[in-house]
Chain A
């Protein structure tokens, strides 16, 4: 069950859309913020709010990079692996973070604190290598700086 306030917010978002499903991405994001990832329950919630079947929501959810259909840690670290960051040492950065966190890219630490995800260009190309945590862009970051930034987020959540 989602809190009444969130339900009302999402209902309002759907009501002001030209067609309900226009609000699909906003609704999925809102639910993901609440659950931490887009759980099966969240897919069912979204379907009800949008007047779609759960399968129709699934079709959208699996399409988008930022909609997580599997559990993620409290901190999700997106490390850019596209060309500009690659030229500036992005591969070294990712390998270093894998080592420091003791997980492979794509995985979550055992304490559910951090998920490490390689991702497509963050649009921070002049500041490569770059990474993103939540809505915040960082760059250029050395492997050590990146590890420190992640450690800071880990403590604050």
Chain B
């Protein structure tokens, strides 16, 4: 099985710059600058079928194509490394182990987009990742792969690292731009979309770490090769899955996108921990509706997961065993989102604490039959929030009501948590 992102990772340390070079690192950039046009690079990414790895799965090449080519003034590329979706740690592992891949990916992307200054927005707490990345940027600078007139091509690029101070909403791309500008990080109204009017009002592309780290391999080996990495004919490339919870071996792995859920858990994570049996999981980070045993064979790619009622999201798989109360799990998730609401719009600011209150009441055994309808109503109503945070927060609530309604009702009729919480 071919891999891209974790191909050369030593188990316990970062890939050095020399090791990266020895394995052909920055040769793709050199080749592209010497013999390809920006449009060629963009076309390769469009043809590759690469979809954004940050959670939404938007086709990357298409996103790039929205940037107007003829506007005067600078344009920007932002690498979104504000990885704060609970259950997600893939970008940290990637940055800690091979930051050079991101540097080369951002250089190629900047070349394709005509960007001369790009930013990497890293969440708080990822100090080691930021350290490794800064060192990778220094090495690339000294070797002439960043800075002015890269490889004698006339193309110039500076990369800036911005280390945030912690707030989930900063991962929303328009809030992220406000955060970078030093403005309170509430989301902006869309349209205009960032590709047209983004950072400091200039055309801006925001891509996830994993997305950008895939670019060198796509440009080097071509779209057909990249597509063939997937487990299904419809898919493209590999995917980082970061697994946590009640499995024997909770790790972050690079696997063909479209691999069945059950195979990730059983074959690659050693199955459930001793004494545990699988009850449910979150397939793609805290905002995605649950999967149960009936979803064991679902191909973990954007469309099949959506068809099965959830979202691939970030690929953060959180596994729960038979001892887990799904009301309590959902309450934990909603509490996170209620606390992380930026307070900008009323449905989110007021709605999420209310949903949290209802779930607390049910879990404590004081729920009423009508609470289920109230929750259903809010799953619908919070779609009218300003950004995707509140609808995301209701993902697990929707999943709980659809898959575990009996368990919720047991709390209400029995007057206590049936799992003894």
Query: B296 → chain A, closest Cβ, in Å?
Result: 19
Contact (Cβ within 8 A) A125 B123 = no
B167 within 8 Å of A (CB atoms): yes
B86 within 8 Å of A (CB atoms): yes
Give the interface segment out of B147-155, B238-246, B257-265: B238-246
B144 within 8 Å of A (CB atoms): no
A120 within 8 Å of B (CB atoms): yes
Contact (Cβ within 8 A) B184 A126 = no
> Who on chain A is nearest to B182 by CB?
A21
Contacts of A66 in B (CB 8 A): 124, 165-166
Contact (Cβ within 8 A) A87 B245 = yes
Contacts of B87 in A (CB 8 A): 82-84, 121, 125
Contacts of B75 in A (CB 8 A): none
Query: A120 → chain B, closest Cβ, in Å?
Result: 6
Contacts of B342 in A (CB 8 A): 63
Q: Please, what's the 1-or-0 string for B210-241, where 1 marks a CB less than 8 Å from any CB in chain A?
A: 00000000000000000000000000000000
Contact (Cβ within 8 A) B244 A19 = no
Contact (Cβ within 8 A) A83 B318 = yes
For window 55-84 of A, CB contacts with B under 8 Å fall at 59-60, 63-67, 78, 81-84
Contacts of A67 in B (CB 8 A): 165
Contacts of A82 in B (CB 8 A): 86-87, 286, 332, 336
For window 297-347 of B, CB contacts with A under 8 Å fall at 316, 318-320, 324, 329, 332-333, 336, 339-340, 342
Query: B418 → chain A, closest Cβ, in Å?
Result: 18
Cα distance, A99 to B335, chains bound together (Å): 23
B406 within 8 Å of A (CB atoms): no
For window 106-142 of A, CB contacts with B under 8 Å fall at 119-128, 132, 135, 137
Contact (Cβ within 8 A) A84 B84 = no
Cα distance, A71 to B244, chains bound together (Å): 34
A44 within 8 Å of B (CB atoms): no
B19 within 8 Å of A (CB atoms): no
> Who on chain B is nearest to A121 by CB?
B86
Interface residues on A, range: 35 or more
B251 within 8 Å of A (CB atoms): yes
For window 15-46 of A, CB contacts with B under 8 Å fall at 18-26, 28-29
Contacts of B245 in A (CB 8 A): 84, 87-88, 128
> Who on chain B is nearest to A59 by CB?
B184
Q: How many CB-defined contacts (below 8 Å) exist between A and B?
A: 133
B64 within 8 Å of A (CB atoms): no
Contacts of B180 in A (CB 8 A): 22
Contact (Cβ within 8 A) A123 B88 = yes
A19 touches which of B92, B181, B286, B332 (Cβ 8 Å): B181
A50 within 8 Å of B (CB atoms): yes
Contact (Cβ within 8 A) B250 A125 = yes
Query: A17 → chain B, closest Cβ, in Å?
Result: 8
Query: B67 → chain A, closest Cβ, in Å?
Result: 19
Contacts of B179 in A (CB 8 A): 25
Contact (Cβ within 8 A) A126 B250 = yes
Complex A-B, nearest 5 residue pairs according to Cβ-Cβ distance, in ascending order: A21-B182, A65-B166, A64-B165, A82-B86, A84-B244
20 contacts between A and B (CB under 8 A): A25-B179, A25-B182, A50-B182, A60-B184, A63-B167, A67-B165, A81-B332, A82-B87, A82-B336, A87-B245, A120-B86, A120-B340, A121-B84, A121-B336, A123-B91, A124-B92, A125-B318, A126-B250, A126-B252, A137-B125
Question: A64-B167, A123-B92, A126-B89 are known contacts; what are 18 more A-B pairs with Cβ within 8 Å?
Answer: A19-B181, A60-B183, A63-B342, A65-B167, A66-B165, A83-B87, A84-B87, A84-B245, A87-B329, A88-B244, A120-B168, A121-B86, A125-B89, A126-B251, A128-B244, A132-B125, A137-B125, A137-B128
